[in-house]
Structure 1
Amino acid sequence: MSHALIADLGGTNARFALVPINQYQPQEVRVFSCKEYESFFDAVSTYVEQCSVDFDSIDAIVLAIAGPVNQEVIRFSNNPWHFTRQQVQEHFGLDKKIAFLNDFDAIGHSLEVIPESELEVIGDQTEVDPKAACWVLGAGTGLGVACVVPQDNGANIVLPGEGGHVDLSTCSDQEDYILRFLRERHKRVSAERVLSGMGLENIYEALAHREGIEKRLTAPEIGEAIERGDDPIALATLEQFFVFLGRVTGDLVLSVESRGGVYIAGGIVPRYLKHIKRSAFRDAMQDKGRMKAFVAPIPTFVVMSEYPGLMGCACYAAYLVNQA
C-alpha cells in the first residue's frame, strides 16, 4: 500500500505521522521537541527509524511549516531549523513526491476532510456557504492565518500569508493601555504580540502593571491560574485575549467576505473552549460600526481535531500522488 510521510513542523514541536494515500487519519504519530534536535533531518531520521512501514512504500512527503515556504531557504518563524527544497528531495530520494505547505495552509486543506463532529460552533449557528471563501487562524507559539478558496475539482486553493504580523488595533481604554505598554518594549506591536502563548504572557504583564503590580507569568502558569480561578488578572487576561481574537477575526472578514466561515485552530483556543463560548469574542468580532451587519452572519468554529495540520497534509498528499 502506498503511504505518505507527513509532518507538522511548528515553533515548539515537530509532529510526524504516516498515512495511507487517500486516507486522512494520521497513524503512528510521534511528537518531538524541536529544541532537542539540531535539525529537521535529525528529527525526521529518528522518526523514520521508528516507522513500521517500509520506506519504499512511502511515495510522498508533505511538510507543514511554521513560516513562509516560498523562499529558497526555508526558515521557521519561531525555531532555528532551516533547509532547502533540494536538500529535502535529496534526503528522501528523487523518486518521492515532495510538497511544502505553510502550517496554516495545511489546516486550510484539512477543512476538506475534518468531520463536522470535530467543529465546535461559537455564537449563533449561521449558514455556511460551502463554495465561499473561509478563513483559518489559530494562536499557539505564534499566530497563523490563511484564506481558503474552495474548488469544484482538485485541491482547495489556500492563499498563504503572514497575517499574524499585521498591526494590532485597539478599541477600549484597557486595550490602549496594553498597546502603549507593549510599544515601549517592541515599538511596533503586531497581532501576534497578544494572540499567542507569548501574547497571553504580554497581556497578563500589562494588566498587572496597570494595577501597580510588576509580575509576569508564563503561559502555562496563566493556564493553571485560570483553572484554579484564584487570579483575577489571569481571568481578565484570557477574556482580553478572546476580545483581541474577535477584533482580528472581524478585520479578516472585512478583508475577504468569508461566507464559508472562520475556523479557529492552534494550541490555545481549543484548550479553553468553554471560556471562549462565554466570552465577548463574537461581540468584538462584530464591533465594526456600520459594517456590523456585514460581519455578523459569518459563522465561527473551533477546530477540535487533535492533528488538523497532519490531516491537511494527508489530504494534500492524496492530490499530489493521484495527479501523478
Structure 2
Amino acid sequence: MKLALVGDIGGTNARFALWRDDQLEAVQVLATADFPGPEQAIIAYLQAQGLPLGAIGSVCLACAGPVSGDLFRFTNNHWRIDRAAFCAALQTDELLMINDFSAMALGMTRLAEHERMPVCAGQAQAERPVLVIGAGTGLGVGTLLERPDGRWLVLPGEGGHVDLPIGSPREAELWQILYRQLGHVRAEDVLSGNGLLVLYRAMCELDGQPLQHATPAAITAAGLAGDPVAAEVLEQFSVWLGRVAGNNVLTLGARGGVYIVGGVVPRFAERFLASGFAKSFSDKGCMSHYLDGVPVWLVTAEYPGLTGAGVALQQRAEAG
C-alpha cells in the first residue's frame, strides 16, 4: 500500500510529513523561497527520506488562500499548482488541496490537552461552530463543525481580510495613520508577523517616538524586555486580535470555542495571557453577554496544520 504525504504551505515555510497509521512521520520544514514550486520542494523532501518518485499514493496540501478547481496560486508566496502537472511530476494518484486554515481547523480535533493553554474560561457548547484564528505570515480564519456522524466539516473563508475594527479613540488615531499608508486597512495588515512592524511604525509616528526596531522579532524581544513602546505594540496587537476574534464569534455563532493558532502569539504567550485580549474579545456593547462563557485557548501544538491535512485525507477515504 502506497504512503500518503501531507503538506502545510504558508507564505514563508512549507511543512511536509508522511501520514501513516493516523499519525505524522518524518516532519521537515522547507523555505518556500528556496524552490520554484511545490513539486521541487516535495521531490527534495522525498529524497531526504530515501523515497523514490511514485512511492506516494495520495497527497493533501493545505494551501494559504482560497482553494477551488485544478489551478491554485498562493496568496503570500510565488508558488502555483496545476493539479495534472503536479500528479504527473510526482507520479502520485491523488492530490487533495484544502485551505490552510481548513487544515488548521481539522487539526484542532486531534489536540492533546497539553497542546493548548486557556485564555478565557468557559464551556464549549456542543453542536455549535468552533472558530480557529491565527496570525502568521498573514491572518487566517476557519470554522469547524461536527457532523452528526462524528466527522468534521470545515467552512473555509478569508476572514483575515475583514476591515480592522476601531474600538477606542487611540485606535481611531492609529487607524488614520494606517489608512494614510495603506488605503484600505485589513485586520491582516496589523494582525500578522509583518503587521507587528506596521503597527510599531504607526505607533511611533503617533507618539513622536524614534524608530528603534526594524523587524517583528526585534519588536517582540524588546517588548518582552520592557521597552515601553514595543510592549504597547504587543498589547495593542492582543487587543485588536480580541476585537477581530469576538466579531467572528458573533458572526458565526461560534459558541463551540475559539482556538488561537499561528506562529506570532506563542512568541509572547505569557504577556498575551495577561493582556487586554479577553476584555476586547467580549466588549461588544449590548451583545457582550453573548461572549460570556465562550472558551478561548492558545494552541501550542507544533504541527496542527499537517495533522489537519492528514485528517482531511482520512475523512475523504472514509467517505469513499
What TM-score, normalized by structure 1, do the two folds share?
Answer: 0.93
Q: In structure 2, which of residues 21, 26, 30 is the aligned counterpart of residue 32 of structure 1?
A: 30
Counterpart-to-counterpart distance in 2, 1:170 and 1:323 = 44
The CA RMSD measured in Å over matched residues stands at 1.7
- Residue-by-residue CA offset, 1:257-308 (whole Å, 9 max, x unaligned): 1121011100011222111110010100111000000112211011110000
SS of alignment partner, residue 109 of structure 1: helix
Please list every run of at least 4 consecutive aligned residues from structure 1 whose deviation after the TM superposition is greater than 4 angstroms: 52-57
Counterpart-to-counterpart distance in 1, 2:70 and 2:38 = 16
5 Å-filtered alignment, 1:110-259, equals 110-123=107-120, 125-153=121-149, 155-215=151-211, 217-229=214-226, 231-259=227-255
Unaligned segments of structure 2, at least 5 residues: none
SS of alignment partner, residue 199 of structure 2: helix
- Residue-by-residue CA offset, 1:2-47 (whole Å, 9 max, x unaligned): 53211110100111111204x13x2211111111112111111101
Alignment-derived partner of residue 99 in structure 2: 102
5 Å-filtered alignment, 1:71-90, equals 71-90=69-88
CA drift of 1:52 comes to 4.4
Q: Is the 8 A contact 1:8 1:103 kept in 2?
A: yes
Q: In structure 1, which of residues 42, 45, 57 is the aligned counterpart of residue 43 of structure 2?
A: 45
Counterpart-to-counterpart distance in 2, 1:143 and 1:319 = 26
Alignment-derived partner of residue 306 in structure 2: 310
Judged with a 3 Å threshold, the aligned counterparts in structure 2 of structure 1 residues 72 and 316 are, in CA distance, closer, same or farther, namely closer
Report how many aligned residue pairs link the two structures. 319
Counterpart-to-counterpart distance in 2, 1:147 and 1:92 = 31
SS of alignment partner, residue 132 of structure 1: coil
What TM-score, normalized by structure 2, do the two folds share?
Answer: 0.95
CA drift of 1:153 comes to 2.1
Q: Is the 8 A contact 1:12 1:79 kept in 2?
A: yes
CA drift of 1:72 comes to 4.5
CA drift of 1:210 comes to 1.4
Judged with a 3 Å threshold, the aligned counterparts in structure 2 of structure 1 residues 211 and 193 are, in CA distance, closer, same or farther, namely same
Counterpart-to-counterpart distance in 1, 2:205 and 2:251 = 34
Q: Is the 8 A contact 1:12 1:141 kept in 2?
A: yes
Alignment-derived partner of residue 17 in structure 1: 17
SS of alignment partner, residue 77 of structure 2: coil
CA drift of 1:106 comes to 0.2
Unaligned segments of structure 1, at least 5 residues: none
- The amino acid that maps onto 1:105 is S
Counterpart-to-counterpart distance in 1, 2:253 and 2:196 = 29
CA drift of 1:75 comes to 1.1
Counterpart-to-counterpart distance in 2, 1:72 and 1:20 = 26
- Residue-by-residue CA offset, 1:38-81 (whole Å, 9 max, x unaligned): 21111111011112456655332110111111154311111011
Counterpart-to-counterpart distance in 1, 2:126 and 2:96 = 26
Identity, % of aligned pairs? 36
Q: Is the 8 A contact 2:138 2:160 kept in 1?
A: yes
Counterpart-to-counterpart distance in 2, 1:73 and 1:11 = 17
- Residue-by-residue CA offset, 1:131-159 (whole Å, 9 max, x unaligned): 22111010010000011111132631111
Counterpart-to-counterpart distance in 2, 1:113 and 1:55 = 30
- The amino acid that maps onto 1:35 is A
- The amino acid that maps onto 1:3 is L
Judged with a 3 Å threshold, the aligned counterparts in structure 2 of structure 1 residues 53 and 20 are, in CA distance, closer, same or farther, namely farther
Counterpart-to-counterpart distance in 2, 1:292 and 1:42 = 50
